Amino acid sequence: MSTDWSEDIVLAHLADEPALSDELGTILERLESLARAEHAPHVVLDFAGVTYINSSNIAQLLRLRQVLEDARCQLRLAGVAGEVLQVMRTTGLDRVMAFSPDTLTALASVQIEGQG
């Protein structure tokens, strides 16, 4: 479930399928429309409740990253562990995504880097 943590940051607490695909799709739709209006927020995705991801999720994450990069906004993944982290390493997502150990660290990082 995503919430506006602040005016400039969306925080999404993710869960396993089918909720994961639905939530990523909803965030992506919202950001694509906001990016066109030139007011996209930064995004923190809390993966603590996710135990697996599939190829569709990976595609959604890459699309989300591109939309945010085009809007000059940050995407940070928090709490990624276990098999999900292994899949991200295997697919190379760990080289193109920013990670934080937990949600609070991710939020702080986004706020600090957003000021620079």
Nearest Cα neighbor of 48 from 12, 95, 90, 73 is 12
pTM of this structure: 0.92
Q: CA of 14: how far to CAs of 27, 34, 71, 83, 108, in Å? A: 11, 21, 23, 15, 19
Structural domain contains residue 70: yes
CATH number at residue 35: 3.30.750.24
Structural domain contains residue 79: yes
Position 84 scores a pLDDT of 97
Domain count, the chain: 1
**What is the distance between the alpha carbons of residues 99 and 89, in angstroms, rounded to a whole number?**
12
Structural domain contains residue 113: no
Q: Looking at residue 53, what DSSP letter applies?
A: -
Structural domain contains residue 37: yes
100: containing domain: 2-108
Structural domain contains residue 100: yes
Q: What is the pLDDT along the chain (116 residues), one digit of tens a residue?
A: 667 777 899 999 999 999 999 999 999 999 988 877 677 899 999 999 999 999 999 999 999 999 999 989 999 999 999 999 999 999 999 999 999 999 999 999 999 886 64
Structural domain contains residue 42: yes
What tokens appear for 109 in the block? 């990082």
Structural domain contains residue 116: no
Position 1 scores a pLDDT of 65
Q: CA of 82: how far to CAs of 35, 46, 53, 89, 102, in Å? A: 33, 14, 11, 11, 14
Contacts of 17 (CB under 8 A, 6+ apart): 52, 54, 57
Position 86 scores a pLDDT of 96
Structural domain contains residue 39: yes
